[in-house]
Amino acid sequence: MRGHIARKGNRYYAVVYEGTDPSTGKERHRWYPGGATRRDAEKVLGELVKRMHDGDYRSPERITVADYLTERWLPLRRRQVRHSTYRSYVANTRLHVVPYIGNIPLQRLTPDDLDELYDLLLTSGRRNGDGGALSPKTVRNIHNMLRKALADACRKGTLRRNVATLADPPKPGRDTTMRVWTPEQLVQFLDEIAEHRLPPPSWSPPTPGCVVERCSASPGATSTSTPTGSPCARP
């Protein structure tokens, strides 16, 4: 692979030789944005040369969304994020991105493609067989992952713009999940109030699953309550 560094204005580029155009007989060169310094461009060129030597170099227009995420971006992120975050990236890519937009060439991906993906996931995005919808929060997380991935592609010259910044992801909805005590948390609560100088202002025998509420009777005091009819409710 042949390549060199070129400068246009205040920007540097890694220029890669891609052979001869069979229709014109002229040499073909592809310019990759390298950054504001020559050193930045040299890093981009070095990575391109390495990919060529490893047999992994492809012209950007031939790289699909699936190729980029699974072969380039995810392997790098594995060393840069927590294991739980990486597992989430892998699962979201495999289940919710690749099946729908994986075959689209990366350079042809549009904001509309992402908006359509988000709408689909919000209506029938689950892959567990029931065809249910994903929550707005989950879809938003997928959008954030794609935005990071495409930003890295722009930084390395694979893309010229990050279309995820132009898409319209859903706003995360309010979490209405009822939070209740586990048996262990209940035991800890009873142990801590057993010898407190201020007893709770009201009392009913609590059971696991009681909802914790802030009591206004005294600063820092808590009480247990649940909706009427539950095992925790007072008669």
DSSP string, 83-137: HHHHHHHHHHIIIIIHHHHTTSBGGG--HHHHHHHHHHHHHH---SSS--PPPHH
Query: What stretches of the chain show up as alpha helix (H) in DSSP?
Result: 38-53, 65-67, 74-77, 83-92, 98-101, 111-124, 136-155, 183-193
Quote the pLDDT of residue 69.
96
Q: Which of 172, 174, 151 has its CA nearest to residue 162?
A: 151
Q: Is the predicted pLDDT of residue 226 greater than 50, yes or no?
A: no
**Alpha carbons 234 and 224: distance in angstroms, whole number:** 10
Q: Tell me what percent of the residues of the chain surpass a pLDDT of 90.
A: 34
Q: Is the predicted pLDDT of residue 74 greater than 60, yes or no?
A: yes
Strands 11-20 and 3-8: antiparallel
Q: Which of 130, 131, 112, 111 has its CA nearest to residue 121?
A: 131
| 8 Å CB contact between 143 and 114 | yes
21 vs 216, more confident: 21
Residue position matching structure tokens 């390395």: 156
∠ CA 8-11-14, rounded to 5°: 85
Q: Is the predicted pLDDT of residue 228 greater than 90, yes or no?
A: no
Rg of the chain taking only CA atoms, in angstroms: 27
Quote the pLDDT of residue 87.
94
Quote the pLDDT of residue 48.
78
Q: Is the predicted pLDDT of residue 235 greater than 50, yes or no?
A: no
Residue 79: C-alpha distances to residues 17, 65, 76, 148 (Å): 31, 21, 6, 15
Residue 1: C-alpha distances to residues 139, 158, 183 (Å): 41, 17, 64
- Among left, alpha and beta (phi > 0; psi -120 to 50; other), residue 180 is beta
Quote the pLDDT of residue 129.
54
Q: What is the pLDDT of residues 32-65, one digit of tens each?
A: 777 889 998 888 888 877 777 766 666 667 789 9
Q: Domains, the chain, ranges and CATH?
A: 3-57 (no CATH), 61-166 (1.10.150.130), 183-225 (no CATH)
Q: What is the pLDDT of residues 153-211, one digit of tens each?
A: 988 878 888 999 999 999 876 655 566 777 777 777 777 777 666 666 555 556 555 55
**Alpha carbons 181 and 145: distance in angstroms, whole number:** 33
